[in-house]
Structure 1
Amino acid sequence: MAAGSTGRAVRVDAPGKLELVEVEVAPPGPGEVLVRVAWCGICGSDREVFAGTRPAEFVRYPVVPGHEWSGTVEAVGEGVPAELVGRGCVGQGIRTADHAPASVAGDTAAWPQEYEETGFTLPGGWADHLVLPARYLHLLPEGADLRSAAGIEPAACVAEAVLLADVTVGSKVAVIGAGALGLLATQLLRGAGCEVTVVHRTREREELARTCGARHYAVSDEAEPLFGTFDAVVEAAGVPGIARLATRLGRPGARVVLTGIPGEDSDDLSSLELVSRQVHVLTVFGAPTRAWAYAVRAFSTGILDPSVIVTHEFDLADAAEALDLLGRRSGALKVLLKP
């Protein structure tokens, strides 16, 4: 990059205050890479940043949102191999301590530092460029579809759920929620050889769920006949009461993995129900390194195809319109911004 180069970025200065600004493109420092962003997705947590409803410990204003990004390495800092320039990539957002084995083992609770994440407390991908430490980079195959690759970040989150579910070929698995996370989880579970049933609040996503690999589809209000029949359950809906449904779907001894965050006042699980049903409840917050590696490999081999859930695309300058579309629940599933 030439000295003094500038680019565009969408910045949220405070809840409800969003603007397109011109920013200086800083060269990468030692151990860092400069990425030209190709595509960046919008998810519910980005809407929380804009609305001011994200918990204070998980956001720092002003901030450039965007954690679901893909791009191309444009420059490297000192100590980073020059051959990375020109490579398509995605990258982890949550920062970990140097050489922390927990990031590889998947134990996010043991990450020994304060929460920092691209797009929430650090500048994200709603911009022309992004700088991040090279050790968080995941390279993509030559010629990879970067539009599709923007969906690897949410896929990595549910990849951790798949790993925690400890499934095998032939496992009967229920996925609750046919939103972006649920459909990506369905692809990964189908790729692992599981028999997948998607449970959603309406019939509207049945065709897409089957495209993603679901063998069966059920409406949540009519799911009682399925109670106690699944080896594992992956919850990806995040609405009040959904954890109770998840535990009821699992057979005794089943693994139930929760990924959604419903309202704090929701009346959900009870100790009586957990103990009596003998299920193992696990949770996912973010994606550790092992889950990223799993998702990137699934993408590289064709098992994972996030492009099938993309419904809308907007120019970076139209980020406010994109946020409004998602807020209106107008049928949008995965919305992408293109710098």
Structure 2
Amino acid sequence: MRALVYDPDNGLRVAEVPMPEPGPGEVLVQVEACGICGSDRQLVRGEGAPFGTSYPVVLGHEIAGRVARLGEGVSGFAPGDAIVVHPFVPCGQCAACARGEEHLCPHQGVIGFTRPGGDAEYVAVPAQNVLRRPEGLDPAEAAILVDAYATPYRAMVSAGAAEEEAVLVLGTGGLGLAAVQIAKALGVPQVAVLSRREDAGALALVCGADEFVTLGDDPRQAGRRLRRMAKGGLGLALDTSGFADGVAFALDVLRPGGKLATVAMPAGDMPVSFAKLARKGAALVGSFGSRREDVEALLQMAAEGRIQPDVVAGRRLSLDEAPDAIQNPFFGRDIIVFDAP
């Protein structure tokens, strides 16, 4: 079968690889769609990979498809079932897993990094990572729910976004645009967006943003606009971009006692003013990955029309177009689409 393969010596390429077989406790998935994530791009740029990544690796961890075959001991699914795949495979035995924080498992595997991913016609995955997909939900839109949406959802739920009157989202990539929709779906009355790109404003507003500012705006005027919107300051800023100037701006507009949460993983160190954090009594919170129940909640939200992944879904590409797309990002989330089963 054909797959998108990467290794540091031979680069990124579409290649013929062996057809996977589902082992005990696994499901063979015929892939319908797989999103291209920023972490795929980071890997190809040599900016780091999850611990345990082995090369050559078939990329792709935002997977939607249909069950093709069941491995030994798997029940509850049948060939043809519409599904998505949660990409994180926790060990189930460590202290983090015992606390119910399996998304922070230090021993977890990641589909598309530590085991073959979904940028291929077929992929074998653990049955515990397979979730039913509402039949009416487009596979390309469903695929990006498992990470582009699930990552900011986990961060916002952990940071208590639903209790805030105003939230600022930093960044207008796939994660940032998804975060705007999620904040609104969680009931946040006012959501602002900060971007480096002036041309991202229209899409941010379509996603539900109430205010849009750029790093090119006068920071004092932009700050005053957001404080007026938030009646004195924002309770939560979610960083999806990892730019130091954006984080500095967010710290300025946070209200006393506010939170700065980040899901960004920039290649270099990020300078943060600890003096400003201390004076404001603000909290700095990191968030990684997601839980299976996060994806379940997002599938329900999408089925009910509370979030609109079609707005975040960017270009729909063939497998042959994927290498160029990984090196040349687009607004929203690029998605590899395969022929329907």
Band of TM-score, shorter chain: 0.7 to 0.9
Spell out, residue by residue over 1:244-267, the C-alpha distance to the aligned partner (whole angstroms, 9 max, x if none): 33322221111221111234244x
1:297 correspondence with 2:265: no
Spell out, residue by residue over 1:290-314, the C-alpha distance to the aligned partner (whole angstroms, 9 max, x if none): 4323322222322222221233222
The question of whether the paired residues in 1 share the 8 Å contact of 2:174 and 2:331 is answered with no
| Pairwise CA distance, 1:214 | 1.0
1:310 correspondence with 2:307: no
- Among residues 160, 164, 169, which one is paired with 1:175 in the alignment? 169
User: Which deviates further from its counterpart, 57-66 or 183-192?
Assistant: 57-66
Q: Which amino acid aligns with 1:315?
A: S
In structure 1, C-alpha distance between the alignment counterparts of 2:136 and 2:243, rounded to whole Å: 38
In structure 2, C-alpha distance between the alignment counterparts of 1:333 and 1:218, rounded to whole Å: 18
Q: Which amino acid aligns with 2:111?
A: T
The question of whether the paired residues in 1 share the 8 Å contact of 2:91 and 2:108 is answered with no
In structure 1, C-alpha distance between the alignment counterparts of 2:19 and 2:52, rounded to whole Å: 25
Spell out, residue by residue over 1:1-21, the C-alpha distance to the aligned partner (whole angstroms, 9 max, x if none): xxxxxx211111325612222
TM-score by length of 1: 0.88
Spell out, residue by residue over 1:170-213, the C-alpha distance to the aligned partner (whole angstroms, 9 max, x if none): 62111111111111011111111112111112321111111111
Q: 1:198 corresponds to which residue?
A: 193
In structure 1, C-alpha distance between the alignment counterparts of 2:325 and 2:261, rounded to whole Å: 30
1:196-235 to structure 2, matched below 5 A, reads 196-220=191-215, 221=217, 222=219, 223-225=222-224, 226=226, 229-235=233-239
| Pairwise CA distance, 1:87 | 1.8
Q: Which amino acid aligns with 2:294?
A: A
Distance 1:303 1:71, change over 3 A: same
In structure 1, C-alpha distance between the alignment counterparts of 2:309 and 2:99, rounded to whole Å: 25
Q: 1:239 corresponds to which residue?
A: 243
1:254 correspondence with 2:258: yes
1:80-91 to structure 2, matched below 5 A, reads 80-81=74-75, 83-91=77-85
1:26-65 to structure 2, matched below 5 A, reads 26-55=20-49, 57=51, 59-65=53-59
Distance 1:236 1:149, change over 3 A: same
1:162 correspondence with 2:166: no
Distance 1:114 1:261, change over 3 A: same
5+ residue gaps in structure 2? none
| Pairwise CA distance, 1:321 | 2.1
SS in structure 1 opposite 2:92? coil
| Pairwise CA distance, 1:288 | 2.4
| Pairwise CA distance, 1:23 | 2.4
The question of whether the paired residues in 2 share the 8 Å contact of 1:175 and 1:185 is answered with yes
Q: Which amino acid aligns with 1:148?
A: E
In structure 2, C-alpha distance between the alignment counterparts of 1:139 and 1:30, rounded to whole Å: 20
SS in structure 2 opposite 1:205? helix
The question of whether the paired residues in 2 share the 8 Å contact of 1:151 and 1:307 is answered with no
In structure 1, C-alpha distance between the alignment counterparts of 2:50 and 2:151, rounded to whole Å: 21
The Cα RMSD (Å) is 2.4
Q: Percent identity among equivalent residues?
A: 30
Distance 1:79 1:115, change over 3 A: closer
SS in structure 1 opposite 2:203? helix
1:300-339 to structure 2, matched below 5 A, reads 300-326=303-329, 331-339=330-338
The question of whether the paired residues in 2 share the 8 Å contact of 1:177 and 1:198 is answered with yes
Question: Which of structure 1's runs of 4+ aligned residues deviate more than 4 A?
Answer: 99-106
In structure 1, C-alpha distance between the alignment counterparts of 2:53 and 2:320, rounded to whole Å: 22
Q: 1:17 corresponds to which residue?
A: 11
Q: Which amino acid aligns with 1:59?
A: T
Distance 1:162 1:109, change over 3 A: closer
TM-score by length of 2: 0.87
The question of whether the paired residues in 2 share the 8 Å contact of 1:312 and 1:336 is answered with yes
In structure 2, C-alpha distance between the alignment counterparts of 1:233 and 1:124, rounded to whole Å: 32
Q: 1:288 corresponds to which residue?
A: 291
Q: Which amino acid aligns with 2:143?
A: A
| Pairwise CA distance, 1:73 | 1.1
The question of whether the paired residues in 1 share the 8 Å contact of 2:47 and 2:267 is answered with no
SS in structure 2 opposite 1:24? coil
Distance 1:128 1:186, change over 3 A: same
